[in-house]
Amino acid sequence: MTKTAEPPLNYRSKGELRTLLSKGVLLNAGKTWFSLNKKGEHCEMISFAECLDSDPSQFQDYSWSSEYNSRFPTGTFLSWTGRFKTRVKSQLLSPQITYTVNLVFKFRLPNKAKKCHDIMSVSYKLQEETKFSISYLAAERGDEWYMVELYQFTSDQRIVNLEIQFRDPCVDIEIEGIEFRPLEKEDENVTLKVQPILDSDSNWEDKVPIDYEDIIKLSKNSMQWTTKKELYSIFRKGFLINDGQEWFSLDKTGKKCHMLSARMASTQQMQCLYYQPLPESRFGEVVELMDWEFKIITEINHQLVSSNTTYASYLVYKLPRQHPRYEAPVKVMDEELSSDHIWFIFFVSPQTPVIRPMIGQNTHNPLNRPKIKDLPQQRNDGWMEVKIWEFQTATTTKMIPMRLKFNSCGSEPPNWLLIQGVEFRPI
């Protein structure tokens, strides 16, 4: 392997060689970038000029640029049509290692580079596949480049051949190559416990709200208790208030939590707003999404949140069983702020297709993105939730405005998604 390095490697010991390989070296006449990770596992990236199915000089709709200081002599690849086929051959993989296959690139426009969370929407498939997969996420690497994760697979030998067809990827990127990188595993998500066990609570006497009598008056049903501990137990479990359109409770620290029904939160759609009864909902009904856009417009009552506290807002929903899952991201915009103040959420955690899965292995694995925040979580009450907003309370008695607009980023609207409401919990 070292005989094919360009320029030739100069080292006096295996330790010096390992240091060189950890930084990365060019092999195979400048067509392959090889490196070692911290575990000594092999990483390999193939120049995109080597990956193209035909001679790139034959395409008038493609051009090459060395403007971004590519690792490869040919520079980066600019696509103007958004359609191309690739043949990717790796020769130096570590055996029995799970790899990710990544498209490595840079944004052509400076403002894109500053928004590494932006949406890519790259469609691709293996030659033998009939259905295109879509990756929506661009992740920033530690080497000033970005990547989109395409596949995962477990290597059974050093040589792997893939034929990948791309359709309609983002055309404002400079593609450097296709990379095989060992999977960096992350901890699996655990089911959220909405209310911890009461027996584990301590100092409960001090956690009953000072204004508990005023809050009890808001209850939909009359409540009875004989001891202060029973009263605290009622607040910890939670109860309906304001004509059954809100749910109030305390967390284990004594901070106030509450949840608005979808109707109370004024969940709005541009064309259709459809309520349907659902017995398992706390509020007896849900909103079913039937459009590309919807809004949450409400004001948060200062009495139902603790002062001087940072809160997170969670959209509580259920995924449809009889319809395809909506996997595209949704853009969220705070209409109280500028139009540039946007972020993205997912109703379903992004997953990566697995190439030739082994017996018993899932055909899709969680996307290898440890830095992704606020992915949807499964709750222990059977619902899903995803964080959509944060706010800080003060000591004033002013209402807290919440004006959020949601837009689908996929080719289909998030139909049949059932929204129970919006929950506010201290962070």
If you write DSSP's letter for every residue of 90-119 in order, what string do you get? Answer: E--PPTT-EEEEEEEEEESSHHHHT-TT-E
Q: What residue type is assigned to position 143 of the chain?
A: D
- Superfamily of structural domain 2-182: Galactose-binding domain-like (2.60.120.260)
Asked if residue 80 has pLDDT above 70, the reply is no
Average pLDDT, the chain: 82
pLDDT (mean) for 110-137: 75
pLDDT for 308 beyond 70: yes
Q: Write down the residue that tokens 């017996």 correspond to.
A: 359
Nearest to 301, CA basis, from 264, 267, 268: 264
Residue owning tokens 């993205």: 344
**Is the pLDDT assigned to residue 59 strictly greater than 60?**
no
CA pair distance 25, 92, nearest whole angstrom: 13
Q: Which helix (H) or strand (E) holds 140?
A: strand 139-140
- Whether the domain at 2-182 and the domain at 198-426 fall into the same CATH topology: yes
- In terms of C-beta density within 10 A (0-12 exposed, 13-18 middle, 19 or more buried), how is residue 116 classed? middle
- Residue 208: count of CB within 10 angstroms of its CB: 17
Among the ranges given (1-5, 111-115, 168-172), the one the predictor scored with the smallest mean pLDDT = 111-115
Give residue 238's pLDDT band: very low, low, confident or very high (50, 70, 90). very high
Q: Where are the alpha helices (DSSP H) in 58-167?
A: 110-113
Select 198-426's CATH number: 2.30.30.100, 1.50.10.100, 2.60.120.260, 2.40.420.20.
2.60.120.260
The 8-class DSSP code of residue 255 comes to -
| 326 contacts 317 by C-beta, under 8 angstroms | no
Query: Mean pLDDT over residues 264-268, rounded?
Result: 73
Three-state DSSP class for residue 48: helix
- Measuring CA to CA, which residue among 351, 412, 403, 340 is closest to residue 376? 351
pLDDT bracket for residue 41 (50, 70, 90): very high
DSSP letter for 144, please.
S
Specify whether the CB–CB gap between 289 and 414 falls below 8 A: yes
Q: What pLDDT is recorded for position 60? A: 46
Residue that has been written with the tokens 């009461």 in this structure: 198
Residue identified by tokens 């100069």 is 10
Instruction: Give how far Cα 345 sits from Cα of 119, 137, 330, 342, Å.
Output: 11, 11, 5, 10
Q: Is the pLDDT of residue 318 over 80?
A: yes
What digits encode the pLDDT tens for the residues 365-410?
888 765 566 789 999 999 999 999 999 998 777 889 999 998 888 7
pLDDT(149) > 50: yes
What is the percent of the chain with per-residue pLDDT over 70, rounded to a whole number? 82
- Look at 132-136, 323-327, 335-339 and tell me which has the smallest mean pLDDT: 323-327
C-beta atoms surrounding 14 within 10 Å: 8
Is pLDDT of 412 > 90?
no
Contact 96, 154 (CB under 8 A): yes
Better-scored residue on pLDDT, 237 or 190: 237
pLDDT exceeds cutoff 80 at 159: no
Q: Residue 326 above 70 pLDDT?
A: yes
Lowest mean pLDDT among 27-36, 122-131, 217-226, 307-316: 217-226
Total residue length of the chain: 427
pLDDT value at position 150?
A: 94
| Tokens 């390095």 belong to residue | 5
pLDDT band at 56 (very low <50, low <70, confident <90, very high): low
- Going from N- to C-terminal start, the domains of the chain cover 2-182, 198-426
Contacting residues for 91 by C-beta, under 8 A, at least 6 apart: 28, 32, 44, 158, 159
Q: What is the mean pLDDT of residues 127-131?
A: 90
At 233 the three-state DSSP class reads helix
Tokens representing 253? 């620290």
Whole-number pLDDT of residue 300 = 92
Cα torsion at 211, 214, 220, 225 (round to 10°)?
60
**Best CA proximity match to 124, nearest among 83, 165, 153:** 165
| Cα dihedral across residues 291, 293, 298, 304: positive or negative | positive
Q: Which of 115, 112, 137, 131 is nearest to 329 (CA)?
A: 137
Angle formed at CA 133 by CA 383 and CA 332, multiple of 5 degrees? 50
> How many Cα neighbours within 13 Å face the side chain of 382?
7
Supply the Cα-derived Rg of the chain in whole angstroms.
26
User: How far is it, in rounded angstroms, from Cα 100 to Cα 93?
Assistant: 11
Q: Tokens for 76?
A: 């980066």
Over range 7-29, report the average pLDDT: 89
Model confidence at 258: pLDDT above 90: yes
